[in-house]
Structure 1
Amino acid sequence: MSPGLAARLVVALLALSAPGSCAADRCSWKGSGLSREPRSRTVEQVHLRCTEGSLEWLYPALALRVVLEPNLSSNQHTIICIKPAHDFQGASIYVERAGKLHLVVSEAKAVGLHHVSCFSTHPPQRVALFLQASPQRDISRRTASFQYEMLSNQSVARPDGQQMALVEDMCRPCDNTELLMAICSSDFVVRGAIQKVSHDPENHMSWVDVSVWKVYRQKTSIFRQEEATGEWRGPIKTLLQCKVKEGAGDFLFTGNEHFGEAWLGCAPRFKDFSSVYQAAQERGINPCEFQFS
């Protein structure tokens, strides 16, 4: 089915939507196309009011309209990022812009990939996604599921094709001001060394395996203690273009978590960070306190 035909079909179905078909507001949603009346032509509508969550649509049928409208205090432009599950099947995802539907995730290209698709929006305008079920002859199980995140454009850069660049000029070393802010606002702050670096040229990503000596903060349990050795370790993701290499050193790793993965932000040598912090402390310009012990 062509994107234009699918778009017209979804719009036509929306015109027949029942006014009382909205699901309760939530961060995540799970439902099934089998729960629909066989002859119903209404489009089920889901409202999600969080900045991150997930959706799982089992046995996709007809179309699903998903409205993302979190309660954001900032009026800055935002970035919406969608990460399809590795077994995404049964539908394609479109986003509405200026009354037209634009393809974001194609079923034919989504299976087995881990790409993140991002697009911008302008609050307070609501973001509406349309999941168009693919035609199928049998009732074999298919699941169209994905994770989503809504981020301010101050914390993310424009998307680079299908890849998600989490920080503008991501590979550029942080200056002193950015470093002091990073220890205050990052999802994780750990001290350690680079154990191993693995590159994924196909997806333009690199994985940095970090041997952790001290966990100062982490949002979730990405950095864990290994039962066999008792050592703390964890993976950090960054762009291949940053050309991260293995090497000895005592570093302070900071960054943010997206879709359950740690993304590298500022990563100075610990002695350099200590000098910057002490100098700022003497001048009374530290944005937050950092406990070295």
Structure 2
Amino acid sequence: MLPNAIILMCMLGLHCAADLCNWTGSGFAAGVDSRIVLQVRLRCTEGSVRWIYPGQALRVVLEPNLSSARRTTVCIKPSPSFRGSSVFIERAGELELLATDGGRPEQQVYCFRADGPHRPAIYLQSSPQSDGPWSRRTMGFRYELLGNRSAAPNLGHSGLQTSCRPCNDTELLMAVCNSDFVVRGSIKNVTHDSERQTSLVEVSAARVYWQRSGVFKQAAASGSSRPVPSWHGRVRTLLQCHVKPGDGEFLFTGSEHFGEAWLGCAPRYKHFLSVYQAAWAARRNSCDFPVD
């Protein structure tokens, strides 16, 4: 905690460059007074913070323009140049350590609940460097605010986690309505990362119904006078889910976080069709889905 710190409001064009989602600024202001803490306010549900020549501390307040933002989860992913700093979260005026230098923090995602009346605030504190306070360094993080979307993975203190159990019919019908991506395709390959405790599933997609960003890329198939476009993408899940390559067509759903797709419900496509058609006949479907 920095009880005697001077709070310096971020002034556009003076110490930083900011929009509603992202901030880039310099720590040169700390050369005037070592107690200075730069304060930044951002109003988006996702974005980035980039601190050049970091000073003593930076305080980032997230103020999204969402009526449902009182109960949410904040996730941050440190930048590759994060080394030499610590991240704290502010709870009731006190600072709680979230992440610190050590290991490979840039490969981890850190999450915390942001319940209550106060907006979530994140402190980024720089450690003294042996090559002087004004060595050329850049540090920061990307952030996301997550609501209570059924397609989002469970969130722990140390990162993203997904459930390995099969989705029931109700969860499946909600997943096709609320997921960041819905794709029909097959599993081409699976690779395992023991360090991150995740598996990377390579998907060859016959159809992309929708996706929030460009996780799945389109390419023209070769070997034909009239090439048929195909889609390819990669989806992550937990190593403990023991995903293996296999034949058959699946409906892949899930959420996207920091440019990566995370697997949610993934039933066989024929099973999904039977569930959806039964729900449609009983008028229990949560949304309309383009059945082929």
TM-score w.r.t. the length of structure 2 is 0.87
Counterpart code for 1:223: F
Q: Does 2:162 match 1:162?
A: no
Question: What's the offset of the Cα at 1:227?
Answer: 5.8
Q: Does 2:28 match 1:12?
A: no
Structure 1 residues 99 and 110, CA gap change in structure 2 (3 angstroms): farther
Which among 79, 96, 101 is matched to residue 85 of structure 1?
79
In 2: Cα distance, 1:54 partner to 1:252 partner: 32
Counterpart code for 1:152: G
Question: What's the offset of the Cα at 1:150?
Answer: 1.2
Query: CA deviation digits over 1:162-206, x for unaligned, max 9?
Result: 2312x5xx1111111111111111111111000001111111111
Residues 78, 123 of structure 1: 8 Å contact kept: no
Query: CA deviation digits over 1:49-95, x for unaligned, max 9?
Result: 11111111111112111111213322663211111122323421111
- Stretch of structure 1 that moved more, 22-31 or 115-124: 22-31
Matched residue, 1:64:
58
Q: Larger % of strand: which? A: 2
Q: Does 2:139 match 1:144?
A: yes
Secondary structure of residue in 2 paired with 1:17: strand
Structure 1 residues 66 and 75, CA gap change in structure 2 (3 angstroms): closer
Query: CA deviation digits over 1:230-256, x for unaligned, max 9?
Result: 542100011111111111111010111
Structure 1 residues 154 and 231, CA gap change in structure 2 (3 angstroms): closer
Matched residue, 1:186:
179
Which runs of structure 1 show a deviation greater than 4 angstroms over 4 or more consecutive aligned residues? 20-25, 153-158, 227-230
Matched residue, 1:288:
287
Question: What's the offset of the Cα at 1:119?
Answer: 1.0
- Stretch of structure 1 that moved more, 145-154 or 113-122: 145-154
Residues 76, 153 of structure 1: 8 Å contact kept: no
Matched residue, 2:98:
104
Counterpart code for 1:129: I
TM-score w.r.t. the length of structure 1 is 0.87
Question: What's the offset of the Cα at 1:284?
Answer: 1.4
Matched residue, 2:225:
none
Question: What's the offset of the Cα at 1:148?
Answer: 0.8
Matched residue, 2:122:
129
Structure 1 residues 143 and 223, CA gap change in structure 2 (3 angstroms): same
Secondary structure of residue in 2 paired with 1:182: helix
Matched residue, 1:248:
247
Counterpart code for 1:67: V
In 2: Cα distance, 1:109 partner to 1:144 partner: 16
Matched residue, 2:209:
216
Secondary structure of residue in 1 paired with 2:174: helix
In 2: Cα distance, 1:279 partner to 1:213 partner: 24
- Compute the RMSD of aligned alpha carbons: 2.1
Secondary structure of residue in 2 paired with 1:179: helix
In 1: Cα distance, 2:218 partner to 2:154 partner: 35
State the aligned residue count: 277
Unaligned 5+ runs, structure 2: 13-17, 223-228
In 2: Cα distance, 1:94 partner to 1:103 partner: 4
- Stretch of structure 1 that moved more, 170-179 or 66-75: 66-75
- Stretch of structure 1 that moved more, 283-292 or 183-192: 283-292
In 2: Cα distance, 1:152 partner to 1:204 partner: 25
Residues 189, 252 of structure 1: 8 Å contact kept: yes
Unaligned 5+ runs, structure 1: 1-6
Structure 1 residues 71 and 81, CA gap change in structure 2 (3 angstroms): same
Secondary structure of residue in 1 paired with 2:281: helix
Query: CA deviation digits over 1:114-157, x for unaligned, max 9?
Result: 11111112143211111111112333322112111111255456
* Aligned positions of 1:258-269 closer than 5 A: 258-269=257-268
